[in-house]
Structure 1
Amino acid sequence: MAPVSEIHFTDYLLRGAKAAVVVAGAEATRLVSRDVVSRRDLAVTSDSQKVTLGIIAAYVVIIAILWNFPYVRWSLWPFKMLVIAFHEFGHAITAVLTGGRVKSISLDPHEGGVTHMVGGKSAITLPAGYLGSSLIGAILIFTGFNIVASKIVSIGLGVCFLLTLWWGKRDWLTIITILLAVGLLIASWFIVHAEALRFVVLFIGVMSSLYSVWDIKQCDDLILRKVNSSDASVFAKRYGGSSQCWGVIWSIISILFLAAGIIAGIAAFPQSFAQQEDDSKNFLPTR
């Protein structure tokens, strides 16, 4: 049985997450309703949308190049560890939400991670690693189209990071990864009224989405070769099918999440850079 202090702290953080959603929800609703209702198509009309799409494309190319070249690939290592933390958070939060208990989270320097948990519904917790990190990536890409939306999602990320830090408090790499990520987000708030924040959020979102797809496909993991300890192989043993089959399904879902994040961002946030900066000055201003 979990110690009373652990249960209370986890419950406190989960209540904090709900509170953050409620506080930020009104602003998010205002932004979306103001523009989506009056726009019935997905035409890319504003310069900010065009720039954002160009940056997403550039991120994809840059990440793909850095990913596959020796030595320089190490430049992505901190972000890989971060999206692995997202992966493990997906396992952990779904375990808690389905009645389980998380004992610990740990990250591995060789780009791996593990979540130790008891209980929960494995039909949900097993795919929640890949699909959870893909969903987080899609949400980050969606909010990366707008400065205020990026501020809002960074608050949610902060709550997720606190939970991950609590579950991984005995693992030094988890602690360092989370603290560096929090530091990067906080620093970005203070650059040109948080304009830099949305580009950081976009990069983390693209990285998280691509990592989920590539890790499933190339996998060092599921489709090109079999690894007995992968999430998909365990899922296949328990629920039928093959790890390759589930890997393909999860990969397709991850790509759909990515596409949905981009489409939703175009539909919801047509504001110009000037409009976004004005909105940012009125929502948790930093300058």
Structure 2
Amino acid sequence: MAPVHERPGLFISEHLLRSARAAVVAAGPEVAKLARRDVISRRDLTVTSDAQKVTLGIIAVYVVVIAILWNVPYMLVIAFHEFGHAITACCTGGRVKSISLDPREGGVTHMVGGKSAITLPAGYLGSSLIGALLIFCGFNIVASKIASLVLGVCFLLTLWWGKKDWLTIVTILLAVGLLVAFWFISHAEPLRFLVLFIGVMSSLYSVWDICDDLILRKVNSSDASVFAERYGGSSQCWGVIWSIISVCFMAAGIIAGIAAFPQSFAEQEDDSKNFIPTL
């Protein structure tokens, strides 16, 4: 008889097949877990609740309204801009002498010392970072309550630095008054829309103001122009870079808000009733 060479191969193939089946059966639960994780990760960034849909729609409306009314005095956002300069000056060894707000000329922070490489871009980038955090908190009532408390501290610091400027005082007091009033309306549900509006305004401030000053009108005196004089490059270049960073901050705030707060309006209201409840 001629030798048969298929037998060993066939035996090996059957053995491998049985081993493969056993491995699939053993790995089945782990594969299922990985699949569930993948589904969960995708679901976290999916807009599912009505609250998220409404929030995104309101953000879009805010963007349009702010674009149309951009030339209306925006004192509160200027306050955030100057607060960015002031707080970074304090963190880098400087001292703030005063803050002044002007609806026509903008704001100015008088300070001594500090690291100008940080304090100069901190006006635009600081306000956009604050805006991104407020947008994130604006997706949830409880988070908006916490944000309003932090805002109160920031406002008090700005009020202290701007205590000799009556316009700064009036602006800050009005903002604090709105935050306090919104706490007592429908368990602070409108508060999150106020926080959201301030966040969108702050995030867009650096982008539109840089375009307005440096690209469209090419105003020579700006944080970007001073930064360019001291550290090289052009004011337009730094303005574009800061604008891109601001847009990234805003996008990150929206994505994080969608992922972190999938609750419905009713669920958010129930949570709000248990966190520093109001009438």
TM-score by length of 1: 0.81
Matched, 1:62 2:65: yes
Please name the residue that 1:108 is paired with: 102
Q: 2:268 aligns with which of 265, 272, 276?
A: 276
Please name the residue that 2:195 is paired with: 201
Q: Deviation per CA, 1:143-180: give whole Å up to 9, x if none.
A: 00000000001000000001000000000111000000
Q: 1:152 aligns with which of 138, 146, 154?
A: 146
SS of match in other structure, 2:79: helix
2:129 & 2:185 partners in 1: Cα distance? 27
Matched, 1:129 2:146: no
> Residue 145 and residue 111 in structure 1: after superposition, are their counterparts in 2 closer, same or farther (change >3 A)?
farther
1:212 & 1:103 partners in 2: Cα distance? 24
Give the alignment of 1:62-81 within 5 angstroms: 62-67=65-70, 73-74=71-72, 77=73, 80-81=74-75
Report the Cα offset of residue 65 of structure 1: 2.1
Q: 2:258 aligns with which of 256, 266, 274?
A: 266
Give the alignment of 1:1-287 within 5 angstroms: 39-41=40-42, 42-67=45-70, 73-74=71-72, 77=73, 80-217=74-211, 219=212, 221-287=213-279
1:48 partner letter: A
Please say which of residues 39-48 and 270-279 is displaced more in the overlay.
39-48
SS of match in other structure, 1:264: helix
Q: Deviation per CA, 1:45-94: give whole Å up to 9, x if none.
A: 11100110011111111222223xxxxx53xx2xx100000000000000
1:248 & 1:117 partners in 2: Cα distance? 26
1:40 partner letter: S
SS of match in other structure, 1:194: helix
Between structure 1 and structure 2, the one with the greater Rg is 2
1:131 partner letter: L
Report the Cα offset of residue 209 of structure 1: 1.2
SS of match in other structure, 1:178: helix
Which sections of structure 2, spanning at least 5 residues, go unmatched?
1-38
Report the Cα offset of residue 39 of structure 1: 4.5
2:214 & 2:224 partners in 1: Cα distance? 7
2:96 partner letter: V
TM-score by length of 2: 0.84
Using the aligned pairs only, state the percent identity: 85
How many residues end up aligned between the 2 structures? 241
Report the Cα offset of residue 111 of structure 1: 4.7
SS of match in other structure, 2:248: helix
